[in-house]
Structure 1
Amino acid sequence: MHGPRQRRAMRLLLCQVCGGRPDHTEQGWLWLLKDESRYAGWPEGEITTHPPVCRLCGALSALLCTHLWQGAAVAVRVGKPIIDGVYGLPYAVSKPWMTPGKPTVILHGDPAMPWMLGHQVAASLTKVTITDLPTLRPEDLTDEVTDFLRKATAVDVARLLAKVGGIAALNR
């Protein structure tokens, strides 16, 4: 994701795709995560660099984003996201140069923070509830969405059409 756009979306809790207001209910903001349920207690406390999403962008992303459909996508409601870290390259002081480490998240207050070349804002997700993935509805297929889909790849469109009921949905 584009660095400045990611930081703005995370700081202001905007949809990471369209930049609009993310879906929000009494349980919290809608986030899409890659399934990491093999870890005890997940998704509570998950640290992510991905901002929340609106319902429509969440539904499209779950269908079209390779990062989500190569692994299982999980939708969660986050009652309290805490912006508390930075993702980037930590540097170690070694003579005569500074040596970059592997990309990682460093939380605020970590003594390594001054040596971090940050790329994205990270948030800890708390008060998390797993919920159903958002789905596309026929009324979601506005002119803007159908124009996007007409430009998408055949594989993307085939996957989407299987979910929304065929080509007739695009020809309305």
Structure 2
Amino acid sequence: MNRPSRLLVFSLAAALASVGSAACAGDDDTALVTTTSRVVTTAAPTTTAAEPVETTTTAAPTTTAAEPVEDVQTSPLESGEIEFQRVRQVPTRDGNLVFLEIPAGDYTDIDLQNLVLSVYEEWDDLYELHVVDNGDVVDVLVKAEEERTPEEKELLDRHYLVSLLEGSVLRFQGPFANLEGFIIGS
């Protein structure tokens, strides 16, 4: 390995170590620690001369969040798609369990399918996704089914729209429950 390559590898290792130590600093409690880091490295072209190679490393700030994550950010994935709010995110051993709220509206099954497929393609470690158009539905969804009241079941029938289960099974819910779901990628 030539000198510029070794310098680049060393710089990357040092940057990752500093980001890792920053993420580990703090209290040792049972709260979930989520670390987001991006390392950008640029190097001058490799030369055979004995000139030093400049390397710049920049690490993004580290963030820590308690479980469950509640996100107030609303944003479309791409233009023309449905805006959403990530209401709750719960990490599990199989991946993240995410609840999205979209504005109440006249959606088609294709609109909802496109939203789920976009989120599926964009987000890593997604195990379950539940899309609702009323934030109160999230509290009902996290309850055990046998504990739900008739009013809560009616709320689900009206406002629980679509889900992604086990990482790849798209299932229509509530007002779209008569439509057939499918396995993504089959």
If the length of structure 2 is used for normalisation, what is the TM-score?
Answer: 0.22
> By percentage of residues, which structure has more strand?
1
Larger RCO, structures 1/2 (Cα 8 Å, 6+ apart): 1
Give the structure-1-normalised TM-score.
Answer: 0.23
Whose Rg is larger?
2
